[in-house]
Amino acid sequence: MRMRTIGTVAVFVCLFLGCIPAVTAQDQGNSGDWIANTESFLIYKATAPPVSRMNSQEYEQAGDQENHNPFPDYEHQSHYYKGASQKLKMEYLAADKSFDSHYFSQQELLLRKQSEALNELIQKSPGMGSERQNKLQEDRAFIENIRSQAQSRYNEAYAAEHSGQQSATSGHGCLIVTAAFGSPLASEVQLVRDYRDGTIRQSYTGSQFFIGFNAWYYTFSPAVADFIATHPLVKSVMQVCLVPLLAIILVSQNLHAMLGFSPEIATVSVLLFGAAFYSLVYIFPPAFIAVWLAGRKGWDVPAPGSMKPVLVLWVLVLCGLAAGIFLSLDLLVTITSGLLVASTVLLVAGTGSLSLSGYIRKNLPGKTDPYSFSGRR
C-alpha cells in the first residue's frame, strides 16, 4: 500500500516537472505580445457600446474628469466625448427640437475636445505602433473636418436666429463679444461659449440662471453689438476692455474644475467668484470715483456700515437659492441666482468704494470726519 502511494506521488511529480518547460516556453513566446494585447483591450473598452442611461452632460463630465486623473486615459476620454456628441443629437431629436446655434456650438465644443484627446493620445504614447498611430491621425483629421462643418452650420444658424426681431429672443449668441472680436469663431468668443455652454449650463443652477440672464441680456445687447460692429474705434476699445473679463472666465473655469465633485456647488461658487471680480474690475472704479467726487463737493458720504442691508439681502437670496436647488423649483432658482449675482456686484462695489474713500479721507490732513469733506459729524 505504501509502495503504491509512493509510486502515485512520483508519477504526479514527474508530470509536473515535465509541464514546466512547456509552460515557460509558452510564457516566453507570449511575453512580447503583452503590450499589444493590453492596447487591444483598451481599444475594446473605448469602443464598447455607450451606457444608455447616461445623458450628454454626464458623458461630457466623464470626459472632463479624465483631465484630473493622475494618469488620464485619453482613449476613454475621446470615447466619452463621442458618446456625448451622439447623445446630444438623440436628445434634440427626442425633444423634437430644431438644430439651433446652441446645438452646433455644443457639438463644436465636443468635437474639439475629442480631437484634443486623440492628439494627447498620439503625443503621449511613444511606444504605439505606426499603424495604430496613423489610424488615430486619420480619425483626428476626420473629426476636425466634421468640426469645421459644425462651425459653418453654427454660423448659418446664428445668422438666422439673429436676423430681424428674433435676435432679441433667441438667447444663444455672445453678441457683444462677437461684435468686438469680429467673428463668432474667434478664440475669445469660443472661450465665452465654452464657459457658458460647457461649464455653467452643465448644471441645473446654471441652466436656470441663464434663463433669467438671457431675458435681461438680450434686451440691450443687439443694439450695443450693432453699434460696436459699425464703429472700428469702439471695437478696438471694447477688445481691450474685455481682456479682464476673459481672464476672469479662465480662472472661473479652473475653479469649477476644482469643485467638480458637486456641479451645483461649483456653479454657485463660480457665479459668486465671477460677480465679485467683475464688480472689482468694472464697477468699483467708477463707483469709487463717484463717491470721491461727492465727498469733494461737500456731500455727506455714508459709512461702509450702510451696506449691511445689502449683506442681509445677499444672505437671504443665497438661502433662497439653496432651497430652490434642493426642491428643484425652477422659477425660484432662476430669480434667486440672478439676484445673487446682482447683489454680489452691488455689495462688493459699494463696500469697497465706501471703505477706500473713507480710509483716504481719514488720512487727509485737517479732516475730522472720515466720511465728510465738509468736516461735519
DSSP annotation string for 196-259: HHHTGGGSHHHHHHHHHHHHHHTTTHHHHHHHHHT-HHHHHHHHHHTHHHHHHHHHHHHHHHHT
Please give the grid coordinates belonging to residue 185.
469663431
Query: pTM score, two decimals?
Result: 0.61
* Grid-cell match 468699483, residue found: 284
Question: Span 305-329, mean pLDDT?
Answer: 95
The tens digit of pLDDT for each residue in 156-200 reads: 776 676 554 333 334 456 789 988 988 776 778 888 888 887 789
* 365 confidence band (pLDDT: 50, 70, 90): low
Q: 88-108 pLDDT, tens per residue?
A: 888 888 888 888 777 887 888
Q: What pLDDT does 149 receive?
A: 87
% of residues, the chain, pLDDT over 70: 78
Q: Band of the pLDDT at 56, cuts 50, 70, 90?
A: confident
Q: What is the pLDDT of residues 30-51, one digit of tens each?
A: 333 323 333 333 333 444 444 4
b/e per residue, 226-256, with b = 16+ CB within 10 A? Answer: eebbeeeeebeebbeebeebeebbeebbebb
pLDDT at 204: 93
